[in-house]
Amino acid sequence: MKSRILVKRYTQGLVGALKDEPEYASVSRELAEFRELVSGHGALRVTLENPFVDARKKSEVIQDVLAGSGFTDKTSRFILLLLDHKRLDILGDVLGSLPVVWNERRGVATFEVSSVVPLAEDQKDRLKEELERLEGRPVCLRFSIDPGLVAGFSLRKGNIIYDASLRGHLERIRQKISEG
- 99 and 116 co-located in one domain: no
Instruction: Give the span between the Cα atoms of 122 and 130, in whole angstroms.
Output: 12
Contact 78, 31 (CB under 8 A): yes
Single residue among 103, 137, 154 that ends a domain in this structure: 103
Residues 97, 28, single domain; the answer is yes
Residues 96 and 113 in one domain: no
**Domain with 90 in it:** 2-103
Is residue 9 located within the same domain as residue 87? yes
Half-sphere exposure of 47 (CA within 13 A, CB side): 16
Given 74, 103, 132, the domain boundary residue is: 103
- Does residue 20 share a domain with residue 71? yes
Going by pLDDT thresholds of 50, 70 and 90, the confidence category of residue 1 is very low
Contact between residue 127 and residue 99 where contact means Cβ atoms under 8 Å apart: no
Q: What beta strand segments (E) does 19-138 contain? A: 109-115
Which of 103, 137, 169 is the endpoint of a domain? 103
Give tens-digit pLDDT for 11-63.
Answer: 888 888 888 888 989 989 999 988 888 888 777 787 777 778 778 888 887 88
Phi and psi (nearest 5°) for 145? -105, 130
Distance CA 121, CA 85 (A): 43
Q: Are 125 and 113 in contact (CB under 8 A)?
A: no
Number of domains in the chain: 2
Run of H or E residues at 143:
strand 139-145
pLDDT tens-digit series, residues 112-123: 888 888 888 998
Say which DSSP state 119 is in: P
